[in-house]
Structure 1
Amino acid sequence: MVNLNKNILRVIIIASYIMIVALVISGISALLGYLNTGADRSTILHTELKKIDQYSPSVVWSPLTNEGRFMDNENLKAIENNYLDAWYVKHIAYKTNTTEGIKDFYTDNARKNLYEFIASNTAENISIESTTLEHHPTLEFFSEDGQLAIITDHDVVEYKRVFKDESLVLETTETSTYKVVLLLEDGFWRIRHQVKETTQETENVALAAMNTKNLDIQGINYYPQDSPWDMFGDSFSEAIISKDFNIIKNAGLNMVRIFVQYEDFGKANVNPKKLEKLKRTLDLAEASGLKVMITLFDFYGDYSVMDWTLNMRHAETIVSTLKHHSALLAWDIKNEPNLDFESRGQHNVTSWLENMINHVKSIDNIHPVTIGWSNTESATILKDKVDFISFHYYEDVNQLETSIHALKREIPNKPIVMGEFGISSYSGFWKPFGSSEEDQANYYKKAQEIIAKTNMQYMSWTLYDFTEIPKEVVGRLPWRKNAQKHYGFIDKKGNEKESFTYITKQ
């Protein structure tokens, strides 16, 4: 019995020893593996979000006529990517006054000046929000050994906001030219020298106003009944949309307003399948004799300067693809952006809007541009930048005429469109003192009388009652969601409600 216990003890000791050795070996292997990853700069890059996800300015290279070695497309793309990475890291460093990531894209000599600048800003409590919108580089020289490249980056458009003690002290857009020397180190291109050769403040020149002389909007905001706020998803149906467009046309309306959700469409990298569905929707509208207003950036709410280049690529793809479509009537830059003033800051929102207006107009110089403000009070903001004024009205219909006259006095020289208006016919458990279908019909009767009297252009909300409302639209509160489901002229069963009689001017 004693010998048996000793043998068991020996087995336990030997097994424990083997386990300890195995754990030590495993630990050493893991440590060596971790240390070896240090040779791969992509795994130690301090910028958690790569440039492709966070920063994508327009880059147009001059034709290659450089001295030295022939430049192939692969090397040129690598230079471009690392060069833009360097800009992105510098933007982040100047905003946060930290040095993380700089050593990955700048050599010892170049980063010294950056560190000194950041230290000075930190001491003075200065921070800089900035981005570049355009680059026009020319490759001047590429060394025979492929280790050195010299570029001149012409007409770099830089937008900057300078803050002192968290207060905005300067906002400017500059156009500059840089001479840049890059060295290939560890398989990545780092900036060795970056010298600003020229710079000038860019004048904020207003682009030409689009022709709105023949603008005659009598329309409706549209989502298919079974896929509200998901019009271009898996439930996309040309047959359903075509049927609905024919209903709208036969009712006496001449246009629809539809929405492109920024994230749903792929943000900077627009989903080609979604874009094709959007194009097909315009085709269907044309076949039905309707025009289309496209509202961009729905459900977008960031507005940060570092997001601008991604927003521009998104708009660029959509606008350039559809600007020649004969069904296109106008671009609505953003739906109700004034609702983001409190959370994002009015200046941030309006700066973003002004930049996006200019960008869309630079791509499409035919179709007018507007902003869908949520009320008449905000409708005067950027009035000189848009081609026609658009406001939404969900207030007392008896005050509508007064509000229209006040807005016309303040903006006498541009068309004004009531881009959304309506009333829910919901009266139930969650809102026992709500409105009935009869109340809704009386509302539209009164509204259309005012529209006719004031010669107002309009788009009502909306064709259908809906079964489901995404929480992103009005939140989770049941009394808000249930009310939102009953704004339509057609009920959930497909029957015309009393209000359908007043879907157009009488």
Structure 2
Amino acid sequence: MKYKPKSGQHYLGMYTLVLESYFTTKARQKLKKYLKDTVDVTINSSTLRHELDANFFSEDGQIVAFTDRNVLEVQEIIPKKNNPLYSKTNSNYQVIMLKEDGFWRIRHLTRTQLNFDKTRILKKSPLVNDTIILVDNQPFPIKGINYYPKDTPWDLFGDKFNAEVVDQDFHLIKNAGLNTIRIFIPYTDFGKEYVLPEKLEKLRLVMNTAEKVNLKVIVTLFDFYGNYALEDWTFTHRHLEQIVDYLKDHKALLAWDLKNEPDLDFDSRGKSRVTSWLTELVAQTKEIDSIHPITIGWSSPEAAKLLQDQVDFLSFHYYGEISDFKERYKPLKAFQKPVVLQEFGLSSYRGLWAPFGNSEEDQALYYQNFQNILKKESVHFLSWTLYDFTNVPKGVVGSLPWRRAIQKHFGFIRTNGEKKPAFQFISN
């Protein structure tokens, strides 16, 4: 429910319609009295958890009474000209509903218990020990790559899903000396709050194939999601719950990456709103899976400092100058957590849209030099990406032809399947 009154006035716009939809006539009359002395503030509210116990149901099917326990409610309070504030409550309610005009409406609602700002303790993943990531109780230096099939970039789980192609690619990756892949779960394509069984089946096949060739998987959630509005939190929670619960016991799972480059949404959505959503997401994930580590794929080393006390290891992307890498990476060592260079790479496109772009030889030299640095610094890494692509969806980099042309040539393997010179430096 969203309420946005004007100072000293009774707001009767669309929010009156909300009251009419959910409450009986007598209940609405009482609620309207409470709206007279309001201040100029926007309050958004969403509930993330309910535990219902039925107490009474009338024989004529017109009255129901129930107790709603452990209701986790989040409120976003937006004062005029100020940044949003967030609060959480854990409450119990007693509810009576009447069937009125064919619809169930609330007649009586009483809060019987209220705990403000109940803090959920975030336990550290047992698979992380200081700056070390563990697999089978042994240190596991991540040497990996971000994965999409050659013919279906940004659409691994779509209609053209091919398990044989995935199997061939995973064998190729393993034989190249890598041990980890990073994959992406698109929020909308997977069904939003109603995760599609057929998508989960394809996800299971990918994970099983990775396990078969002894590759670990970092699963990146909420790809192409960018709302973050509080009224959307219930839906994203349901989405998260289904996928994490489905995969949490899979042997190939290495870690959860909650969101790819969320800091790029700060300007359009607001930093406070994005980080608050991520903070809640961390807590929700750990409630479902207390074992596997959690990270966030920030777009730069500087952004990786955000929420560092909540994640199990720090992740960032880097497409800057190699000469600046050490200096920008150095501050992250102070947090005494594993640090993963989650994306890095160089396009080998040189053509009409970039006549002075990098050649395949330039790309090979880039990886040779970068891998030397990563080896000396003992940095976990995942490069971008295995293949060049014939087509890049406009939703990824926009419609500008020079941006799409450059994005098509980050791979270690050409579109015809031939390995580029950089392939010899795919692993250090």
**Would the TM-score normalized by the shorter structure come out above 0.5?**
yes
Contact 1:391 1:417 in 2 (8 A): yes
- 2:31 aligned residue (114, 117, 125): 114
Contact 2:5 2:40 in 1 (8 A): no
Using the TM superposition, give the Cα deviation of residue 355 of structure 1 relative to its aligned residue in structure 2, in angstroms: 0.8
- 1:397 aligned residue (292, 317, 322): 322
- 2:389 aligned residue (458, 466, 473): 466
Using the TM superposition, give the Cα deviation of residue 107 of structure 1 relative to its aligned residue in structure 2, in angstroms: 1.3
Using the TM superposition, give the Cα deviation of residue 182 of structure 1 relative to its aligned residue in structure 2, in angstroms: 1.4
Which residue in 2 is equivalent to 1:445?
368
Distance 1:351 1:162 in 2: 12
Higher relative contact order, structure no. (Cα contacts within 8 Å, ≥ 6 residues apart): 2
Contact 2:217 2:252 in 1 (8 A): yes
Q: Percent identity?
A: 48
Query: What is the letter of the counterpart of residue 166 of structure 2?
Result: I
Which residue in 2 is equivalent to 1:489?
412
1:284 is aligned to 2:199: no
1:414 is aligned to 2:331: no
Which residue in 1 is equivalent to 2:42?
127
Which residue in 2 is equivalent to 1:92?
2
Query: How is 1:178-217 mapped onto 2 (pairs within 5 angstroms)?
Result: 178-210=93-125, 211-213=127-129, 214=134, 215-217=140-142
Distance 1:234 1:145 in 2: 48
- 2:274 aligned residue (349, 359, 363): 349
Distance 2:331 2:20 in 1: 58
Which residue in 1 is equivalent to 2:348?
425
Q: Which has the higher strand share?
A: 2
State the aligned residue count.
411
1:364 is aligned to 2:293: no
Distance 1:109 1:444 in 2: 71
- 1:388 aligned residue (313, 330, 347): 313
Contact 1:94 1:118 in 2 (8 A): no
Contact 1:93 1:100 in 2 (8 A): no
Which residue in 1 is equivalent to 2:223?
298
SS at match of 1:196: strand
Larger mean CA deviation between 339-348 and 166-175 belongs to: 166-175
Query: What is the letter of the counterpart of residue 138 of structure 1?
Result: D
Query: What is the letter of the counterpart of residue 204 of structure 1?
Result: T
Which residue in 2 is equivalent to 1:171?
86
Contact 1:469 1:485 in 2 (8 A): yes
Cα distance per residue 1:163-204 (max 9 Å; x no partner): 222524642100112122211222222111112222111332
Give 5+ residue unaligned stretches, structure 1: 1-90
Distance 1:161 1:118 in 2: 18
Which residue in 1 is equivalent to 2:198?
273
Contact 1:110 1:192 in 2 (8 A): yes
Cα distance per residue 1:214-264 (max 9 Å; x no partner): 242100000000000111111111111111111100000001000010001
Using the TM superposition, give the Cα deviation of residue 212 of structure 1 relative to its aligned residue in structure 2, in angstroms: 1.7
Which residue in 1 is equivalent to 2:301?
376
Cα distance per residue 1:374-400 (max 9 Å; x no partner): 000100100011100000000001111
TM-score by length of 1: 0.79
TM-score by length of 2: 0.93
SS at match of 1:179: strand
Q: 1:95 to 1:496 in 2, by over 3 A?
A: farther
Query: What is the letter of the counterpart of residue 347 of structure 2?
Result: S
Contact 1:218 1:253 in 2 (8 A): yes
Distance 1:145 1:485 in 2: 65
Larger mean CA deviation between 168-177 and 246-255 belongs to: 168-177
Contact 1:206 1:385 in 2 (8 A): no
Contact 1:176 1:196 in 2 (8 A): yes
1:475 is aligned to 2:391: no
Distance 1:229 1:423 in 2: 18
SS at match of 1:401: helix
Which residue in 1 is equivalent to 2:137?
none
Using the TM superposition, give the Cα deviation of residue 157 of structure 1 relative to its aligned residue in structure 2, in angstroms: 1.0
SS at match of 1:451: helix
Contact 1:304 1:348 in 2 (8 A): yes
Using the TM superposition, give the Cα deviation of residue 364 of structure 1 relative to its aligned residue in structure 2, in angstroms: 0.9
Contact 1:175 1:200 in 2 (8 A): yes
Q: 1:95 to 1:260 in 2, by over 3 A?
A: farther
